[in-house]
Amino acid sequence: MEIVFLCVANSARSQIAEGLARSMAPEGVRVQSAGSVPTKVRPESIEVMSELGIDISSHYSKSIDDVGLENASLVVTLCAEESCPVLPPNIRHLHWPVPDPAGDPDHPDTLEGFRKARSEIQSLLTEFFSNPRPLL
C-alpha cells in the first residue's frame, strides 16, 4: 500500500504528514508527499518534527509528477483555504483541511502555528491508523 500526502507547496503540512505517517504506519505501508507547486521544506516543519524525535531534515519538496499518483492506494489532500491539487477521478482520496501553518493568523508566532498543524495531522493519522480501513 502507498499513501501520498498532497498540499500546494510540499513545504509544511504534507511534509509533516509524511514524517508522522512513516513513524506511525503499519509494516508495508509506503508514504510519500508532494505538492502542486513545490517550493522547499520550511525550517519550522523540520523543527517541530524534531521536537517529536522525527528527523525530516533530508526531505525535499517534490511535485506531483515526481511521486506518480498512479501507484498510490490513497491520496490525502491537506489544503484548507487555498486550492488543492486536482486529482484524477479514479484516485482514492481523503481530504483533511488543515490550515497553512505559515499563514495562521491565530498564531503570529510561526512555530506555534506549525505545532498546531502538526498536532491536528497527528490526531487525524492516529484515528486513521487505529480504525480498520479497507485500504489497509
User: Which among 17, 79, 121, 124 is annotated as catalytic?
Assistant: 79
Neighbours of 48 (CB within 10 A): 25
**The overall pTM is greater than 0.85:** yes
Q: With a cut of 80, say whether residue 74 has pLDDT above it.
A: yes
Active site residue 21: no
Fold (topology level) of 2-130: Rossmann fold (3.40.50)
Q: Is 84 a catalytic residue?
A: yes
pLDDT of residue 80: 82
- pLDDT tens for 109-125 read 679 999 999 999 999 99
**Which residue among 3, 7, 12, 21 is the active-site one?**
7
Domain ranges across the chain: 2-130
One DSSP character per residue, the chain reads -EEEEEESSSSSHHHHHHHHHHHHSPTT-EEEEEESS-----HHHHHHHHTTT---TT----BHHHH-GGG-SEEEE--SSSPPPP--TTS-EEE--PPPGGG-TT--SHHHHHHHHHHHHHHHHHHHHHS--TT-
Phi, then psi, of 79 in degrees rounded to 5: -80, 150
Q: Is 66 assigned a catalytic role?
A: no
- pLDDT tens for 43-64 read 999 999 999 999 999 999 999 9
